[in-house]
Amino acid sequence: MLLKQGVEVLKGVGPKKRAALQQAGISTLGELLYYFPRKHLDRTVMSTAQLEVGEVATVFVTSLESYLAHGKKSRLVVTTKTESNMKLSLLFFKGVSYFKSVLKPGLSLIVTGKLEYYRGMQIVHPDFEILSSETDPEESKLTHTGRIIPLYPTTEAMKKEGLDSRGLRRLNQQVLQMIEKQSLEIPEILPTFALDKRKLLSRRESIIQMHFPESQEQVDLARRRFIYEEFFFFSLLLELKRKKRQEIQRELWPLQKSTSASKLVKDLPFTLTEEQKNAVKQFRKLGQNENPMAVLLQGDVGSGKTITALLTALYYIDNEIQVCLLAPTEILARQHYQTIYNLLGQSPFLKIELFLGKERVKAKREKLHRLQSGETLLTIGTHSLLQESVLFKDLGLVVIDEQHKFGVEQRETLRAKGKNPDILAMTATPIPRTLCLTLYGDLELVTIKQKPAGRKPIDTRWYYEDKRKGVYKSIKKYLEQGRQCFIVYPLVEESEKLDLQSCIDAYESLQNGEFADYKLGLLHGKMKNDDKDTVMTSFQKGEIQVLITTTVVEVGIDVPNANILVVEHSERFGISQLHQLRGRVGRGEHQSFCILMTSYQVTAEAKARLAALTETEDGFLLAEKDLEIRGPGEVLGIRQSGLPDFHLGDLQKHKDILEEAREDAVISKDVNEIEKTEIISRFSEGRILFSN
């Protein structure tokens, strides 16, 4: 296969060029052809008439001559003329001899820089890109034909080896000539029905148009094809995985009826919402399938996901099938343990265990033994559950809380400890539909949208420092009524020590000053476990009135009596983080408040985030907003989410193409028609929720 040949078969590619290309991920001719321009410049876009002094200009010019000018500062002057014969001088104060050697007369160039006027038009130290040399007719033919100029991403190492846009174009030209001479085809890899249905350019034509474009329209078509191609193969991979999962057979069967689940429903201090009931029903139905289930339960913060997971778990536990619940933080794991213990503790059958992996050697060994012997039926824990020493007898259900906090491998590790277990992944970071299909297209989705009845909307306000006195006054008013309050400080890794200190300082000064008459508590990640426990328990019991804390309380924490959440330096938090934090209040019947404090200096982006928070409480809407502001890579964390790093495709911008590609991949029955190796080489790593 021609496209699989190494780049060294090309004329002029020696070991050095090869190494530079390899660094950029180009080893084969195929990879070279798929190394696409970062943009295509339309040379008619900036005509001379559009140029304005003082503004950044991008201009096509031909170099005329260069000379050294001496004065207060010596400089190299390269004179050029634009396509409409305007004179433009390029000035270089540094690297004079280098630029002189590079910018020979008779080159055709694109230059970018701030246009200045000083006895004529000039640009000082412009960025430039050499398009071709007029003295080399071969090359001028090659690049001068169209009005659209492709510009490639190039690294420093590539540039050093002459692999700038011009160099890359030369190489591509060689490959295309080889293909023509040997009358080889660039094989089509998309199914014909998709090409027809979506009116896509052929692969061969698209490659030519990307590198040697005829017009902007053709470039757009070529791009569209490659975006589609990326999405198509990704969707196909998801389909393959889904099919593969369907081949896995269930080994452990949860009961059809569970007495403890029915009893728990009766004993609950509230009635389940319709959506909660429906979620449990769906999990049970999936639990009866021949194949293990893989479900993503999406529900906004406070929608009551935990109870649905617990009720589901009982159908397994009643049948002596083990269940484990993985939580991202110790505080959350403890809380789950407490909640579940309180709900079920009296039940004689139930063997629940909290596993944090920090137990003393002997205690840990005993716990591990109870897991391995199957005595413990419900295990709640953190990352510690992923340790090799943790083995189960009959693990049949894996519940992953706040699943977005875990990476693909972690989820997979836990799954592998079971006997083809069912998986219930829960998340409070709602993912917009398109993205969800893309990321978790191989999962069943269950959504809880409504919150339990009786919840009042949270009153969210954004205040500058000048309102601080007033904020404290309101807090005290509610403390007097018996309510509780969170004050959250940011904690980011880079400035962890400083952040932690400001949290501790605030605790001390508030306890000794403003809130001297009240009981304050301090909670942060660096505290000893027992201390964390004590603080959390007294806050839950209402003994601590104000909890000064960091983002350790971000996920899951449930103290319904707390009705005020103050976020300090809220400009430093992201939308979803703030939304999660806000979810700490509004969990009881009291009117709740979320106060976002900021200094006066807030960036435009932060303003957009804070405004969004004050405007809506709808987690799905906020997630959309967040995606808009930050893009999916940032929002979900490329590696964490298993989101592939698409080259051209943008999950947000190209939603429509994504949906089309997905639709086609699902019905593309004969996967063999398409080269499987193609898929695997592109998305080789476990990049989705569960790799099988």
Report the candidate in 205, 263, 624, 559 with the shortest Cα–Cα distance to residue 429: 624
Of the candidates 208, 296, 354, 428, which one interacts with ligand ADP according to CB under 6 A? Answer: 428
The set of residues, in sequence order, having a beta carbon less than 8 Å from that of 616 and lying 6+ positions away, is 622
From the CB of 265, what's the least distance to ligand ADP, in Å?
A: 10
Q: Is 544 in the site for ligand ADP (CB under 6 A)?
A: no
Of the candidates 587, 590, 654, 662, which one interacts with ligand ADP according to CB under 6 A? Answer: 587
DSSP H or E segment with residue 485? strand 484-488
From the CB of 282, what's the least distance to ligand ADP, in Å?
A: 16
Q: Is 558 in the site for ligand ADP (CB under 6 A)?
A: yes
**Residue 662, binding choice from Mg ion, ligand ADP, none, Cβ under 5 to 8 Å by partner class:** none
* Rounded-to-integer distance, Cα 166 and Cα 164, Å: 5
Nearer to ligand ADP, 241 or 305 (CB): 305
Q: Is 556 in the site for Mg ion (CB under 5 A)?
A: yes
Residues in region 189-218 near ligand ADP by CB under 6 A: none
The encoded tokens of residue 413 equal 């590790």
**Residue 521, binding choice from Mg ion, ligand ADP, none, Cβ under 5 to 8 Å by partner class:** none
Nearer to ligand ADP, 331 or 368 (CB): 331
DSSP H or E segment with residue 564? strand 562-567
Q: Is 303 in the site for ligand ADP (CB under 6 A)?
A: yes
Region of 326 (left: φ > 0; alpha: ψ -120 to 50; beta: rest) is beta
Stretch that binds ligand ADP, among 23-31, 100-108, 126-134, 298-306 (CB under 6 A): 298-306
DSSP state, residue 251: -
Q: Is 146 in the site for Mg ion (CB under 5 A)?
A: no
Nearer to Mg ion, 372 or 450 (CB): 450
**DSSP letter for each residue of 107-162:** EEEEEEEEEEESSSEEEES-EEEEEEETT-HHHHHHHSS-SEEEE----HHHHHTT
From the CB of 421, what's the least distance to ligand ADP, in Å?
A: 21
Q: Is 542 in the site for ligand ADP (CB under 6 A)?
A: no
* Rounded-to-integer distance, Cα 116 and Cα 499, Å: 46
Q: Is 302 in the site for ligand ADP (CB under 6 A)?
A: yes
Q: Is 273 in the site for ligand ADP (CB under 6 A)?
A: yes
* Residue 115: strand pairing partners: 123
Nearer to Mg ion, 113 or 556 (CB): 556
From the CB of 197, what's the least distance to ligand ADP, in Å?
A: 41
In Å, how far from its chain's centre is CA 653? 15
Site size toward Mg ion, by CB under 5 A: 1
Of the candidates 560, 574, 631, 633, which one interacts with ligand ADP according to CB under 6 A? Answer: 560
CB 457 within 8 A of CB 617: yes
Neighbours of 19 (CB within 10 A): 11
Of the candidates 299, 430, 632, 649, which one interacts with ligand ADP according to CB under 6 A? Answer: 299
The one-letter amino acid at 532? K
Query: What's the CA angle centered on 273, arms 268 and 279, to 5 degrees?
Result: 100
Residues in region 331-360 near Mg ion by CB under 5 A: none
**Residue 301, binding choice from ligand ADP, Mg ion, none, Cβ under 5 to 8 Å by partner class:** ligand ADP
The encoded tokens of residue 360 equal 């003393």
Q: Which residue is nearest to Mg ion (CB)?
A: 556
* Rounded-to-integer distance, Cα 396 and Cα 596, Å: 43
The encoded tokens of residue 362 equal 């002997």
Nearer to ligand ADP, 230 or 554 (CB): 554
**Residue 208, binding choice from Mg ion, ligand ADP, none, Cβ under 5 to 8 Å by partner class:** none
**DSSP letter for each residue of 614-663:** HH---HHHHHHHHHHHH-HHHHHTHHHHT----SS--TTTTHHHHHHHHH
Residues in region 222-241 near ligand ADP by CB under 6 A: none
Stretch that binds ligand ADP, among 68-76, 145-153, 302-310, 404-412 (CB under 6 A): 302-310
Q: Is 456 in the site for ligand ADP (CB under 6 A)?
A: no
Q: Is 270 in the site for ligand ADP (CB under 6 A)?
A: yes
Nearer to ligand ADP, 66 or 592 (CB): 592
Q: Is 301 in the site for ligand ADP (CB under 6 A)?
A: yes
Neighbours of 472 (CB within 10 A): 15
Nearer to ligand ADP, 240 or 398 (CB): 398
Of the candidates 306, 322, 545, 563, which one interacts with ligand ADP according to CB under 6 A? Answer: 306
**Residue 111, binding choice from ligand ADP, Mg ion, none, Cβ under 5 to 8 Å by partner class:** none
In angstroms, the Cα distances linking 451 to 304, 379, 447, 565, 635 are: 7, 27, 12, 19, 24
Q: Is 583 in the site for Mg ion (CB under 5 A)?
A: no
CB 588 within 8 A of CB 563: yes
**DSSP letter for each residue of 46-112:** S-GGG--TTSEEEEEEEEEEEEEE-SSS-EEEEEEEETT--EEEEEESSSHHHHHHHS-TTEEEEEE
Stretch that binds ligand ADP, among 158-166, 183-191, 438-446, 554-562 (CB under 6 A): 554-562
DSSP H or E segment with residue 298? strand 294-299
**Residue 273, binding choice from Mg ion, ligand ADP, none, Cβ under 5 to 8 Å by partner class:** ligand ADP
Stretch that binds ligand ADP, among 88-96, 131-139, 303-311, 570-578 (CB under 6 A): 303-311
Q: Is 328 in the site for ligand ADP (CB under 6 A)?
A: no
From the CB of 148, what's the least distance to ligand ADP, in Å?
A: 52
Burial class (CB in 10 A: 0-12, 13-18, 19+), 459: middle
The set of residues, in sequence order, having a beta carbon less than 8 Å from that of 672 and lying 6+ positions away, is none
Q: Is 304 in the site for ligand ADP (CB under 6 A)?
A: yes
Q: Is 430 in the site for ligand ADP (CB under 6 A)?
A: no
Q: Is 617 in the site for ligand ADP (CB under 6 A)?
A: no
**Residue 193, binding choice from ligand ADP, Mg ion, none, Cβ under 5 to 8 Å by partner class:** none
Stretch that binds ligand ADP, among 17-25, 266-274, 543-551, 664-672 (CB under 6 A): 266-274
CB 374 within 8 A of CB 305: no
For 413, how many CA atoms within 13 A lie in the half-sphere containing its CB? 16
Nearer to ligand ADP, 154 or 306 (CB): 306
* Rounded-to-integer distance, Cα 512 and Cα 612, Å: 35
Footprint of Mg ion on this chain (CB under 5 A)?
Answer: 556
Footprint of ligand ADP on this chain (CB under 6 A)?
Answer: 270, 272-273, 276, 299, 301-307, 428, 452, 556, 558, 560, 587
